[in-house]
Amino acid sequence: MAVTRFAPSPTGYLHIGGARTALFDLLLARKTSGKFILRIEDTDQSRNSPTAAKQVMDDLRWLGIEWDHGPDVGGPGEPYFQSQRLDIYNKYIDQLISDEKAYYCFDTPEELTQMRDKAAAAKKNFLYPRPSQFPTEKQADQARADGRPVAVRFCMTDDDIIVEDSVRGRVKFSGKELSDFIIRKSDGFPTYHLACVVDDELMGVTHIIRGQEHLMNTPGHIALQKALGFKTLVYAHMALTVSEGGGKMSKRDKAKVLKDAIKSANPDKEKIASVGNISIQDFDDFLKGNSTPDNPAIDAMAEFLGIKLPEINIVDFFKSGYIPEALVNFIALLGYSPPTDKEILTLDELIETFDLSRLSKTNSLFDRKKLLAFNMEHMKLLSEEKLLQRYKDFLSGTNSPASADDKLLLRILKACEGARTLAEVEFKSSFLFVDANNIKYDQKSVEKVFLKNSGQGLAMLAELKQQLLDLKEVSEKSIEDMLRNLAERKEVGLGKVAQPLRLAICGTTVSLPIFEAVDMLGIEETVKRIDNAISKFSGKTL
């Protein structure tokens, strides 16, 4: 029975790496009939954003990653926000101090930088010089009164520390090469290391699955566990997920695309900085590559420029029309191979077959084409009601004008079977929700379909109009018959009839199947759009 926890620091949106960690935590807990805990690690006062914890929780729930204990649902380890557990941490820190396993230190950031620079100049690992005699409580009070920062450091062991890692095997660290590290900062908050070790013990956690960037922290955690008399846990440090351009998937991927777009569009600097709600200084730093603005700023600037950024955060995938079932399946296969020959798996199937020993040591590629294919497959697998719900959720998160009763939305979804994303469904059906006078015609299609061959397409439209008006009974079938007959009579392929009609009613040559599109729109509206197109483009030449 495994007790796992996902412990995000709420500094931004939940990104794909965090979601993967949370998912594996969930899979292991469910597979072993254990418990899955959500713990919010909000002890870094300078980096926390008040809305981020909520966003992370919303994103997890959207993915279907539900926690047994944690914020909102409670549990025996309450509270689950670390910022509300300071008394607990202080008790353990004080115990370490009185056991002489931790000590006060009063260095300013400048002094620490000097020490580090000195070590770097001597090509040595920085090891904090542990005082031979530890400062007393009184000296700590005096330092505070003198305005010095008062922190607490843990006495790192000199022994070797072995991490038995489920992914990497046995990893040995020499305690001698590891520095005494801070467990309480001068602002009175514990560091991540202390809080995480204490909470994992108190919350009964048995397995830690996390990204490989934390492997370096693990010997310190194990040393702390020993010093506090806690048990050691099972660790699994997952390999990286890299983006197609190489390098770790991160918000920098988005930033890079945005930066290139800004450089080529060369927009008004003040305007775009204000759209992103950042200072000109920050904007310049961003263009020079010195810093990366936060996500909302990046997204706002991209939207302003009308460019699409690669999705990184879960909410990005939601906005691009992915469904959670597909994302969960896809991220489960990043660095993990299930013991099945199927690739398309539901959450239940992933749980059923989960095997921690099948996590891979090698980095995995975030293959966006594969994700699109997965999304298409999972959209087909969903029940009608579920797909409708997903589509309505998607529409509510966009500025889409699509608003319709469930019957029409279901009809649209059916007509769009085989679409790769919900955004594609929305795009293909958007003609139903715009006013005839507001259709934006794609220029290239107008030239190709209407104007080429001396306006053959437009001439076809005029004939079509009459045929539509003459239809005795309107149905998909009668529209189809009429279009096919017309094509036959004119001795042209169906496309030569269907494409001008499609362009007239949608403004593009991509839409729902044409017979259905006309039927949904209705004859009156279709004819209106044909009239509009004829009057707008007749007389125009290439």
Which residues are part of the catalytic machinery? Answer: 308
User: What are the two backbone dihedrals, phi and then psi, of residue 105, each rounded to the nearest 5 degrees?
Assistant: -145, 155
Query: Within 13 Å, how many C-alpha atoms sit on residue 153's CB side?
Result: 19
Closer of 238 and 379 to ligand GLU (Cβ): 238
Residue from 93, 151, 196, 223 binding ligand GLU (CB under 6 A): 196
Number of chain positions touching ligand GLU (CB under 6 A): 8
The tokens for 419 are 């679409």
Closer of 196 and 413 to ligand GLU (Cβ): 196
- List the x/- string, 24-53, binding to ligand GLU by CB under 6 A: -----------------x------------
DSSP state of 30: H
Closer of 95 and 212 to ligand GLU (Cβ): 212
* DSSP string across 58-102: HHHHHHT---SBBTTTB-TT---BGGG-HHHHHHHHHHHHHTTSE
Residue from 3, 8, 53, 167 binding ligand GLU (CB under 6 A): 8
Closer of 156 and 209 to ligand GLU (Cβ): 209
Q: Report the nearest approach of ligand GLU to the CB of residue 232 (Å).
A: 14
Look up residue 423 and give its amino acid. Answer: A
Closer of 42 and 299 to ligand GLU (Cβ): 42
Residue 500 contacts ligand GLU per CB under 6 A: no
* DSSP string across 420-439: SSHHHHHHHHGGGGS-GGGP
- List the x/- string, 140-179, binding to ligand GLU by CB under 6 A: ----------------------------------------
Q: Which stretch binds ligand GLU (CB under 6 A): 5-13, 70-78, 117-125, 316-324?
A: 5-13
To 5 degrees, how large is the angle CA 462–CA 463–CA 465? 65
Q: Report the nearest approach of ligand GLU to the CB of residue 216 (Å).
A: 12
To 5 degrees, how large is the angle CA 326–CA 328–CA 334? 105
* 8 A C-beta contact, residue 67 and residue 37: yes
Tokens 């002890």 sit at which residue? 43
Closer of 7 and 37 to ligand GLU (Cβ): 7
Q: Which stretch binds ligand GLU (CB under 6 A): 7-15, 92-100, 151-159, 501-509?
A: 7-15
Residue 171: left if φ>0, alpha if ψ -120 to 50, beta else—which one?
Answer: beta
Map the footprint of ligand GLU across residues 464-483, applying CB under 6 A.
none
Q: Report the nearest approach of ligand GLU to the CB of residue 499 (Å).
A: 52
Closer of 36 and 286 to ligand GLU (Cβ): 36
Q: Which residues pair with 162 in a beta bridge?
A: 172
Q: Which stretch binds ligand GLU (CB under 6 A): 2-10, 174-182, 474-482, 490-498?
A: 2-10
Look up residue 442 and give its amino acid. Answer: D
The tokens for 61 are 């729930």
The tokens for 462 are 């005029």
Q: Report the nearest approach of ligand GLU to the CB of residue 33 (Å).
A: 22
- List the x/- string, 201-240, binding to ligand GLU by CB under 6 A: ---------x---x--------------------------
Residue from 7, 182, 412, 436 binding ligand GLU (CB under 6 A): 7
Find how far residue 42's CA is from the centre of its chain. Answer: 20
Q: Report the nearest approach of ligand GLU to the CB of residue 197 (Å).
A: 9
Q: Report the nearest approach of ligand GLU to the CB of residue 531 (Å).
A: 59
Q: How many C-beta atoms lie closer than 10 Å to residue 214's C-beta? A: 16
User: What are the two backbone dihedrals, phi and then psi, of residue 455, each rounded to the nearest 5 degrees?
Assistant: 75, 30
Q: Report the nearest approach of ligand GLU to the CB of residue 196 (Å).
A: 5
Q: Which of 45, 46, 60 is nearest to 15 (CA)?
A: 60
Q: Which stretch binds ligand GLU (CB under 6 A): 6-14, 163-171, 222-230, 332-340?
A: 6-14
Helices and strands counted in the chain (H then E): 24, 11
β-pair type (234-238, 3-6): unpaired
Q: Report the nearest approach of ligand GLU to the CB of residue 403 (Å).
A: 39
* 8 A C-beta contact, residue 240 and residue 211: yes
β-pair type (102-105, 207-211): unpaired
Residues that bind ligand GLU (CB under 6 A): 7-9, 41, 192, 196, 210, 214
